[in-house]
Chain A
Amino acid sequence: GEQVEQLPSILRVQERSSASINCTYENSASNYFPWYKQEPGENPKLIIDIRSNMERKQIQGLIVLLDKKAKRFSLHITDTQPADSAMYFCAASNTGANTGKLTFGHGTILRVHP
């Protein structure tokens, strides 16, 4: 099966600085990598994803990078705001297996301080 490692577990940054979260995976067949944001008491919400045919994707202040050779992908939040404070999860999936199996990292608590 797939294993996803996510670091750091806790990240504290100052407002308007950038924040980076890194994930690694083991299964070279994984080809889909979503990122979810979960606020306290809420369900996880998809914020950005990347597929293996891309190396970089940006949606406004969110940037995802994928290095297939190193089996590593990362989320970069530019110009952070206190509203970005939440738990963030990376995940990996092999869509070719047609199982919908999504393996999550253990999460990163992001705290953005004013």
Chain B
Amino acid sequence: AQTIHQWPVAEIKAVGSPLSLGCTIKGKSSPNLYWYWQATGGTLQQLFYSITVGQVESVVQLNLSASRPKDDQFILSTEKLLLSHSGFYLCAWSLRGGGQDTQYFGPGTRLLVL
């Protein structure tokens, strides 16, 4: 069965500091991967998606970047955090090709920027 992990579980960071969040998925070969952001009590905003290693498409610019260094790994990062980056970051996956529409979310990382 597939499992999706996100790290860290939670972070408290200072404005202007760098950030790196990670996501790994096991049990699925070549999945599509996605990053989402959710403000407290808010909706889910898709940030990035990737269909293969080394290829990342940006959906919304929030002074964040993403990379896919391995087939099973997706990284979200920034060199300088803003207060507005606080929220819940969710990684999601879907199958490649047919059936790629159904997305499943990881456990998420809570970020508080002070």
| A interface residues with partner B (beta carbon < 8 Å) | 32, 34, 36, 42-46, 49, 89, 91, 93, 95, 98-107
Q: Quick check: is B15 within 8 A (CB to CB) of the other chain?
A: no
Of the four ranges (under 10, 10 to 19, 20 to 34, 35 or more), the interface on chain B belongs to 20 to 34
Q: With an 8 A cutoff between CB atoms, is B3 at the interface?
A: no
Residues of B within 8 A of A102 (CB): 34, 46, 103
Kindly state the separation between the CA atoms of A102 and B93 in the bound complex, as whole angstroms.
12
Q: Does B43 contact A89, Cβ atoms closer than 8 Å?
A: yes
Contact B103 A99 (CB under 8 A): no
Given A99-B49, A100-B34, A46–B102 Cβ distance below 8 Å?
yes
Residues of A within 8 A of B103 (CB): 34, 46, 100, 102
Q: Write the residues of chain B forming the contact surface with A, with a CB cutoff of 8 angstroms.
A: 32, 34, 42-46, 49, 51, 57, 59, 90, 94, 100-108
A32 cross-chain contacts in B, Cβ below 8 A: 101
Q: How far apart are the CA atoms of A100 and B57 in the complex, in Å?
A: 11
- Could you list 11 examples of A-B contacts with CB < 8 Å? A43-B107, A44-B44, A89-B44, A100-B32, A100-B34, A100-B49, A100-B51, A100-B100, A104-B43, A106-B42, A107-B42
Contact B43 A107 (CB under 8 A): yes
Q: Is the interface of B mostly helix, strand, loop or mixed?
A: strand
Q: Across chains A and B, which 5 residue pairs bring their CB atoms closest together, nearest first?
A: A43-B105, A95-B101, A32-B101, A104-B44, A106-B43
Which residues of chain B come closer than 8 Å to A42, judged between CB atoms?
107
Chain A residue contacts of B51, Cβ below 8 A:
98, 100
- Chain A hits for B46, CB < 8 A: 101-103
Closest to B59 in A: A101
List, in ascending order, chain A residues with CB within 8 A of B45's CB. Answer: 104
Chain B contacts of A99 at CB under 8 A? 49, 57
Contacts of A98 in B (CB 8 A): 51, 100
